[in-house]
Structure 1
Amino acid sequence: MSFRRFVNLITNDCAQNTYALRRIDMSRFFKNENVSSLLGLDPPPVKDCCLPDVMMNFYPPQREDSGIMEFMRVKNKVVATDQKCGACMYDPEMHAVRTLPRFVKPKNWPISIAMGNNLFVLDRAPNGNSTRNFEALVYDAPRPHRQGDWDWHALPSMPPPPCARNGNEDPTWADSCAAVEGGSHIWISATGGDAANAWTYSFDTQRLVWSKPADWTLPFCGIAEYIPELHKLWFGIASRDHGRVFCASDLAVASFSQEDRRPPVLHTVFDDMAGFSKEWRLVTAHAVHLGSGKFCIARFFDRSRPRSEDTPVHYEVKENCVVFAGVEVVSLEGKLHMVKHNSERYMLVDQELQWVL
């Protein structure tokens, strides 16, 4: 698999309500050395760096309650949507933007997963009684007398949580998802109210139907990606219960059968958090596969800072930063090992992290 050189970082300028897309060049994060010679060595210290220049700015509709934008990645392109159902696609290689058909319905903090030319998008906080909380951006191939183009397709909504059948109306939150069985199914884990109300649905991308829920959850937060060359495992960031470290799991052994209940378990946990200062609080983390066993691990942190004399007492002043790390996973003598290469820290001045794609 070829090496993916650039990762997209999108931040929000809260004061002006604009979204800035930057591209992080990951090629400089990896050493040109035999990776086996680096096993067991301490990684280089985190280097403080300046953010690269903005490649593209996005402006949402400037109306009350409509200024939020969402960003997703399909192939090497970035899809941007707003709360008025508007959508566009940015191609960083061409540095060009094209419009897309409108969303069927706005999404709240969506979780998305790309498979081939298709992008599946689900509300992270779907209302069990709502419809059209699940859509797919599909590339319709050219036909006679018709060019190929992108279009949104409404999909069957994720069913209400099992706890809703018992009168529990606590909000649902989709925590993680993964494509399994060669992309024929998408597993989505969600919680409702508390950790005791947790389950996983399977969506059949061919028949467009949902399974009955399993009473277990994926051990990840966010998106887990299948890497067949690394022991046929799924890789991502572990769930909060597992410390949100970089990890791998074998989802193929899990079962939805009520008679043969087999939840997935963590196969390997990598201590990629070692060396981080405890004065910084981890907010969120992302793992992006770059190919050839290499990953970009991006972690967002914040910390409180002293107030100045003119700062109101009730106002908490915070500093934000993001740390990008180049991580490589190799298989030696039947076991997986992690090598942590270079890391860079970028201070986010008057900005908030939004997406790493």
Structure 2
Amino acid sequence: MGSRFVNLLARSCNGGPRHFSLHRMNPANLFHPTRSAVPAVQPLADAPLPPPALSFGWPGKKGELAWMNFMAFGRTGNNFLAVDQIGRTFFYDTDSRSLRTGMPMMCKPIMDPISIAVGDSLYVMSGNPGPSPGKHCFQALIHGRLPASDTNDWSWYSLQPPPPFVNDIPRFHEDEVKSSCGDVPAPYEIGAYTVVGESQIWVSTAGAGTYSYDTVSGAWSKVGNWSLPFRGRAEYIPEHNLWFGFTPNNLQLCTSDLTASSEVRPPVLQNMWTDVVRPKNWTLRDASLVPLGSGKVCIARFFVTHSDNFEDMSAYKKRENFAVLEGVEVLKAGWAHLRMVKHKSERYVFGRDLVIPL
């Protein structure tokens, strides 16, 4: 079963009160009723941004260091968590449209995490643990019986040991290439991650290859010295028994069969589809994939307009952030090949507000 909604989050950057707002799009609007109704040329249509389903005020006072992380949650990714800079956790149930504020706090807040759902549980890891990852760099939110109680509820757990790949990365000199944060060498960054099977979380770093964490046994193991051929989170699509994601360099949609890999044989790309032609002043920032079931997916790409004249402040102030959602149907086209049918594409303009994928 796939997601019933595409969730986009916006962080206000328009000079007013700082806040976050959640916008929910119905992906059914991105598909024609039948494949025979799909026109040869797919125009890009501007769509009105739906009103926020929920808004969060900025979690700190002016001048204080503050942030919020938002994480898709649940088997279909329709629910989500919000966690602030002191570890307060808020759970939004999209089915009941209710916000639970009395959730347990994280063991320790993680500033720039990756998060991945396995079953009903959520696993959260520092996206850039560095050479000294710390005790609480890997945590899980699990629903179960509380210690010394007959009550079932959510609890945060600090998972030990921490990711072992930090010990397999050679020490780098300070003049080596830094990460986007500029505080630790790039080889410690988790460049790609996904779920394999029912219980394994695979994570890749440039410096140590790919490791697997088994959520049942709690054990880490080395998968290979190679990196996953994706950027960010890859999604398993059971209809094709393949993992779908985006290429690391130019964010093109691609697939790979991770089960065909071994310690000495890295996974290879089997399909890759190029992006549509777009105006030169559109800069692609990020992309995400939302599985919808029955071979249908929603591709979300996030852009910002730019000007070649860096001294033109008026052009800088007029830049816009927007998301382009595209409904795509992936069909079998012979052995080991797939065909992509593009349905509708819609653009949602957020102005100066920064749109964040969930």
Normalised by the length of structure 1, the TM-score is: 0.86
Within the alignment, does 1:148 sit opposite 2:147 as a pair? no
Within the alignment, does 1:29 sit opposite 2:12 as a pair? no
Q: 1:236 to 1:309 in 2, by over 3 A?
A: closer
Q: CA deviation at 1:262?
A: 0.7
Q: 1:190 to 1:27 in 2, by over 3 A?
A: same
Cα-to-partner distance string for 1:80-107 (whole Å, 9 max, x where unaligned) = 0011111110112211111211011111
Cα-to-partner distance string for 1:286-343 (whole Å, 9 max, x where unaligned) = 0110111111111111122498999489x67532211111111011443311011101
2:332 counterpart SS class:
strand
Cα-to-partner distance string for 1:25-76 (whole Å, 9 max, x where unaligned) = 111110111x3x478x634211012211111001242244542111111123
Within the alignment, does 1:183 sit opposite 2:186 as a pair? no
- Residue in 2 that maps onto 1:194: none
Within the alignment, does 1:251 sit opposite 2:262 as a pair? no
Q: For 2:88, give the aligned amino acid.
A: G
- Residue in 2 that maps onto 1:158: 163
Q: For 1:54, give the aligned amino acid.
A: P
Q: 1:294 to 1:141 in 2, by over 3 A?
A: farther
Q: 1:306 to 1:255 in 2, by over 3 A?
A: closer
Q: For 2:66, give the aligned amino acid.
A: G
Q: 1:62 to 1:78 in 2, by over 3 A?
A: same
Q: CA deviation at 1:146?
A: 2.3
Distance 1:318 1:165 in 2: 41
Distance 2:96 2:201 in 1: 31
Q: 1:43 to 1:124 in 2, by over 3 A?
A: farther
Within the alignment, does 1:265 sit opposite 2:261 as a pair? no
Structure 1 range deviating more: 326-335 or 288-297: 326-335
- Residue in 2 that maps onto 1:203: 213
Structure 1 range deviating more: 43-52 or 136-145: 136-145
Distance 1:220 1:109 in 2: 19
Distance 1:151 1:43 in 2: 50
Q: Do 1:307 and 1:317's aligned partners in 2 also have CA atoms closer than 8 Å? A: no
Distance 2:273 2:310 in 1: 40
Within the alignment, does 1:348 sit opposite 2:353 as a pair? no
- Residue in 1 that maps onto 2:226: 216
Q: 1:310 to 1:327 in 2, by over 3 A?
A: closer
Structure 1 range deviating more: 141-150 or 67-76: 141-150
Within the alignment, does 1:170 sit opposite 2:185 as a pair? yes
Q: Do 2:223 and 2:262's aligned partners in 1 also have CA atoms closer than 8 Å? A: no
Within the alignment, does 1:87 sit opposite 2:92 as a pair? no
Q: For 2:224, give the aligned amino acid.
A: A
Q: For 2:244, give the aligned amino acid.
A: F
- Residue in 2 that maps onto 1:237: 246
Structure 1 range deviating more: 114-123 or 65-74: 65-74
Q: Do 2:5 and 2:26's aligned partners in 1 also have CA atoms closer than 8 Å? A: yes
Equivalence map 1:87-106=2 (5 Å): 87-99=89-101, 100-106=103-109
- Residue in 2 that maps onto 1:336: 338
- Residue in 2 that maps onto 1:62: 60
Q: CA deviation at 1:350?
A: 2.5
- Residue in 2 that maps onto 1:18: 19
Distance 2:65 2:107 in 1: 16
- Residue in 1 that maps onto 2:119: 116
Distance 1:46 1:213 in 2: 41
Normalised by the length of structure 2, the TM-score is: 0.86
Distance 1:141 1:162 in 2: 34
Q: Do 2:59 and 2:68's aligned partners in 1 also have CA atoms closer than 8 Å? A: no
Q: Do 1:305 and 1:319's aligned partners in 2 also have CA atoms closer than 8 Å? A: no
Matched pairs, number: 337
1:140 counterpart SS class:
strand
Could you tell me which runs of 5 or more consecutive residues in structure 2 were left unpaired when the two chains were aligned. Answer: 174-183
Q: CA deviation at 1:221?
A: 1.1
1:183 counterpart SS class:
coil
- Root-mean-square deviation (CA, aligned residues, Å) is 2.7
Q: For 1:269, give the aligned amino acid.
A: M
Q: 1:310 to 1:316 in 2, by over 3 A?
A: closer
Quick one: percent identity of the two aligned structures?
36
Q: For 1:179, give the aligned amino acid.
A: V
Within the alignment, does 1:71 sit opposite 2:86 as a pair? no
